[in-house]
Amino acid sequence: MNGTSVGHFINGAFLDASERRASVTNPATGEITRSVALASEAVVDAAVKAAAEAFPAWRATAPAKRARIMFRYRELLERDIDEIAALITSEHGKVLDDAKGEVARGIEVVEYACGAPELLKGEHAKDVGPRIDSWSEFHPLGVVAGITPFNFPAMVPMWMFPMALICGNTFVLKPSEKDPSASMKLASLLKEAGLPDGVFNVVNGDKAAVDALLGNHDVQAVSFVGSTPIARYIYEVGTKNGKRIQALGGAKNHAIIMPDADIDNAVNALMGAAYGSCGERCMAISVAICVGDDIADAVVAKLKAKIAEMKVGPGSDITNAMGPLVTREHFEKVRGYVDLGVEEGADLVVDGRGFTVPGHESGNFLGACLFDNVSKNMRIYNEEIFGPVLCVVRANNQQEAMSLIDDHEFGNGTCIFTRDGESARFFTDNIKVGMVGVNVPLPVPVAIHSFGGWKQSLFGDLYAYGPDSVRFYTRRKTITQRWPTGGVRENIEFAFPSATRKESH
């Protein structure tokens, strides 16, 4: 990275060669602040080649040595967390505290990755047959790629590469072209931590770079996080090309507020979960289902009052609770959904359109929006808006509320607010969603678990980070071994071997 020009990171060096470029803007001001290279197929192939060449030596590096690099990396991330957060805020727009929070969640995955020797020690079984032992080893795949979205420019890449690397793979990251700088900083810290050249590479770019990764024979697996249509595309093309794929998609996360809920705590939780990061989180709560009209009236009134107190402005001012949307294009899309909700007949209780921040009139600021009486036939209910728009739906009972969630095409996260253990247990047992909270609005699993949704929120079988990622980034080899002892002759056996069959010793 060179001031205002963001290039690539290949074989341990920052490069700036590319035919095409895109602009990166500061969402709080609308100014173009940087330009980012858009990799051609040749640039992607060069990154994959560097990764392929680095693979044999990295694969042969002891897991404990890989872990040592991760330990150093963790310290460097802590050292530079303010700088990384500032880069995120300048390109994504989220407030600095929130940006630091995402780096901290990424560091938790790095900490988990530091357990490489434990995670990769395999499985052993002695005496599975006469004088026969058997064990499973977890071998790296080779070159793996990560393709990431704009909304967590540091955390989502860190969901992927720390685990891929400690498993012995080499990596090519293709970050979002909307906010590429955090990834370049993550790359420079890996180099400083002592990661050998070529083990980790970054290619910036758009669809052309993604297609080049999907078409490259040396790429063994792809981790993708982004919107559902692109996730489906990555899964279909990648698996057709023989690659292992995990593709995490979009979301529409519902919270149920039961009549017995602690309303003030639920409303506070909804404020953060709906409007934090301007609603640009895949785990954001975008639908609040209130069970009963009394609870709905109370929740809507309290939300309205809290929104009036919420400070919106540039993310660099830490007194602000909510910053701008990422780009002008995305701002127009989200505002269009607010217009649509009005046309569809929902009640717009709080209208954030027309909101401006003095001195930042060209920023992508949309005030918080709150709809009441949203119903399941509306597009604002069915589609992911990915902005500061909360839809309140009224239901008569818990079963009706849960059916709404189960019938929805997405199944990423959900939460129930209640004081009743029986309701909560029925909810966690039966709801068709991958990540479930009880009085926890953003149930993002910690690094020792794995992250993933159900239905159209994930294509593939294994979740991101945690134990699933060790399985995703390795292939199993099972060895069965016998050393005949002196004097014993092996009989010829024509029957299929079995440990429980009567054997002559």
Interacting residues toward ligand NAD by CB under 6 A: 147-152, 156, 174, 176-177, 206-207, 210, 225-227, 230, 233, 248-251, 282, 384, 386, 412, 453, 457
**Shortest spacing between CB 440 and ligand NAD, in angstroms:** 17
**Shortest spacing between CB 318 and ligand NAD, in angstroms:** 24
**Shortest spacing between CB 142 and ligand NAD, in angstroms:** 22
Nearer to ligand NAD, 186 or 300 (CB): 186
Nearer to ligand NAD, 182 or 258 (CB): 182
Nearer to ligand NAD, 329 or 343 (CB): 329
CB 44, CB 15: distance < 8 Å = no
**Pair of tokens at residue 344:** 């569809």
Burial annotation 211-250 (CB, 10 A radius, 16+ → b, else e): bbbbebebbbbbbbbbbbebbebbbebbeeeebbbbbbbb
Only one residue has tokens 């709801």, namely: 431
Catalytic residue at 391? no
Q: How far is CA 75 from CA 1, 70, 110, 266, in A?
A: 22, 9, 10, 36
The count of other CB atoms within 10 Å of the CB of residue 318 is 12
Angle at 207 between CA 201 and CA 209, to 5 degrees: 30
Q: How far is CA 96 from CA 87, 266, 460, in A?
A: 9, 25, 33
CB 352, CB 388: distance < 8 Å = yes
How many CA atoms within 13 Å lie on the side-chain side of 290? 25
Nearer to ligand NAD, 412 or 418 (CB): 412
**Shortest spacing between CB 294 and ligand NAD, in angstroms:** 33
Give the whole-angstrom CA distance, residue 44 versus residue 49. 9
Shortest-Cβ-distance residue relative to ligand NAD: 226
Give the whole-angstrom CA distance, residue 283 versus residue 303. 19
CB 367, CB 312: distance < 8 Å = yes
Nearer to ligand NAD, 230 or 288 (CB): 230
Nearer to ligand NAD, 55 or 465 (CB): 465
**Shortest spacing between CB 205 and ligand NAD, in angstroms:** 7
**Shortest spacing between CB 111 and ligand NAD, in angstroms:** 20
Instruction: Answer positive or negative: Cα dihedral of 425, 427, 430, 434.
Output: negative
Catalytic residue among 282, 290, 391, 415: 282
Instruction: Answer positive or negative: Cα dihedral of 353, 24, 237, 406.
Output: negative
Active site residues per annotation: 282
